Amino acid sequence: MTNETASLVADLKARYFAAGVDAARLLCDAHDPARVVFTFIGRDLAATDLSYGELRERSARLASVLAGRGIGPGDHVAVLMGKRPELVVTLLALWRLGAVHVPLFTAFAPPAIDYRLAESGAKLLVVDEDQAPKIASLETTVELLRAEDVDALSSGAEALDTPAAMGPDAPLLLLFTSGTTGRPKGVAVPLRALASIHAYMEFGLDVRDDDVYWNAADPGWAYGLYYAILGPLAVGRRSLLLEGGFSSSLSHAVLAKFGVTNFAAAPTVYRSLRQDGAPGGLCLRCASSAGEPLTPEVIAWAQEALGVEVRDHYGQTEHGMLIVNGWHPAVKAPLEAGSIGRPLPGFVAGIVDGHIAIDMRASELVWFAGYRNRPESTAERFTADGRWYLTGDAGSVRDGQFHFAAREDDIILMAGYRIGPFDVESVLCLHEAVAEVAVVGRPDALRGEVVEAFVVPASGATPSAALVAELQTLVKTRYSAHAYPRKIHFVSTLPKTPSGKIQRYVLRTNPTVENLIEDLSQALERR
């Protein structure tokens, strides 16, 4: 680390690792009460500002109401709400009490909600009116508080004057992994994790006082919750929150109308923006992506259409962002094709047995201690001596730059060769007929596994045997002759987690998916 980065890491440890610290002061009360922290944008582009002073007053009164319902330090409270002021008020009220927020994504079906309520042991569920119908079919019994009643209940309540002194190891959140490789696991996020979140806002995203910052990720998931909610609160800088679901046309409008200068989103957002054409009228200074690696065609498009390069960042629910192509001048370096960058200041990374790994002894800002009630899953994440945290992602490092290959479960082993799905997907995406693609390994008696691809055709593209041959040849000539997909299935959509990550394990193992696509694949082969 440079002197500048080392100094900030030391400052962050002093701020967030101190005994007796409380989240309410760090995230709200210590900031200028007149300063706007969030601008909430409706689907009609109408905007409402929330200042730190308003947030403090409203959350302190709601905290009294929740305390009257028996909510106190360590209690788990699930929140199923959209991106509106009441969401942030509710979260700050919970943290004033030392309670633990359990985020629920508004696109969840009842079984996903039920699972997280049961696993977390939630004592209370705060729910939006439009989400209430889902609650009727839940098996888990939990006390309800309707979000529409929050202001009415707290308007006459006395403000809670003294927040709970939580300490650095007290949990703020119980967040569940996205389920890209199986059943979601609960991750307790302690207060000291704010140090690494703060470091990413500074070094990874370079969010400045004069920026118009918008992280488009949903706060039901790690990237949105950590860096669209907690990050802006920690660093004291304004963030935009767009109510409702994603649409590329609405995103174009927000970027242009509000003069967004610093934008962060998942790769699926950039792919959707690309399909809808260049937006125009933008003033972006920084654009960042996280969740899955960016494919080359998106990177090339962004420079021309957005007027700025998109920098890829790598992280996990378990630690937040770990390796970044940072924007801050102290860490910024020229982009290298296929690279996810260098370790975020405060982290030391390496490659252990082919995995991207984090050095738990040398990294000053690490915080993950294990999964809730999952000792076996926790043990799998660490080397026997406890020194290295294993991400489960295969990768490599060259000249200090880290490169992602695939989730370890997604690596294809064909006749002794290790094939990373991302490498093949990156080539297939270069073809104009491909909108999205996922590559998986299928069992093969001769080779062990072979490569198969699931392609969502671009608008106007027609699946055909000729197109199959073109795509296979493209991989042979642009990547490797042995790694071409033996079969290519054309599908209307790819299975994804609610946060937009492709679930390759579903494509590998789900017979329903296979049956739906096999007829078309076989028909093409017969031509």
pLDDT digits (tens, 9 = 90+) for 151-202: 888 888 999 989 998 899 999 999 998 655 557 899 999 999 999 999 999 9
Model confidence at 475: pLDDT above 70: yes
* Both structure tokens of 92: 């700050």
Model confidence at 23: pLDDT above 70: yes
CATH number of the domain within which 452 lies: 3.30.300.30
Residue with tokens 């993950």, as numbered in its chain: 368
What is the mean pLDDT of the segment spanning 92-114?
A: 91
Q: What is the mean pLDDT of the chain?
A: 89
Residue 335 belongs to a domain: no
Model confidence at 488: pLDDT above 90: yes
Report how many domains make up the chain.
1
Residue 315 belongs to a domain: no
SS3 state at 476: helix
Structural domain containing residue 486: 411-526
Residue 468 belongs to a domain: yes
User: In this predicted structure, what is the pLDDT of residue 178?
Assistant: 66
**Beta-sheet strand order (sheet of 448-457):** 434-444, 448-457, 487-490
CA distances from 296 to 300, 433, 524 (A): 6, 15, 28
Range from 3-17, 38-52, 275-289, 401-415 carrying the lowest mean pLDDT = 401-415
Q: What is the DSSP letter of 483?
A: G
Question: Residue 347: which region, alpha, beta or left (left: phi > 0; alpha: psi -120 to 50)?
Answer: beta
User: In this predicted structure, what is the pLDDT of residue 181?
Assistant: 54
User: In this predicted structure, what is the pLDDT of residue 182?
Assistant: 58
Q: 51 versus 511: which is more confidently predicted?
A: 51
Residue 402 belongs to a domain: no
Model confidence at 524: pLDDT above 70: no
Residue 245 belongs to a domain: no
SS3 state at 423: helix
Instruction: Tell me the pLDDT tens digit for each residue of 221-261.
Output: 899 999 999 999 999 999 999 997 778 889 999 999 999 99
- The pTM assigned to this predicted structure is 0.81
Model confidence at 523: pLDDT above 60: no
User: In this predicted structure, what is the pLDDT of residue 416?
Assistant: 54
Write 392-395 long-range contacts (CB < 8 A, 24+).
392/181, 392/355, 393/355, 393/356, 394/354, 394/355, 394/356, 394/418, 394/420, 395/340, 395/351, 395/354, 395/355, 395/356
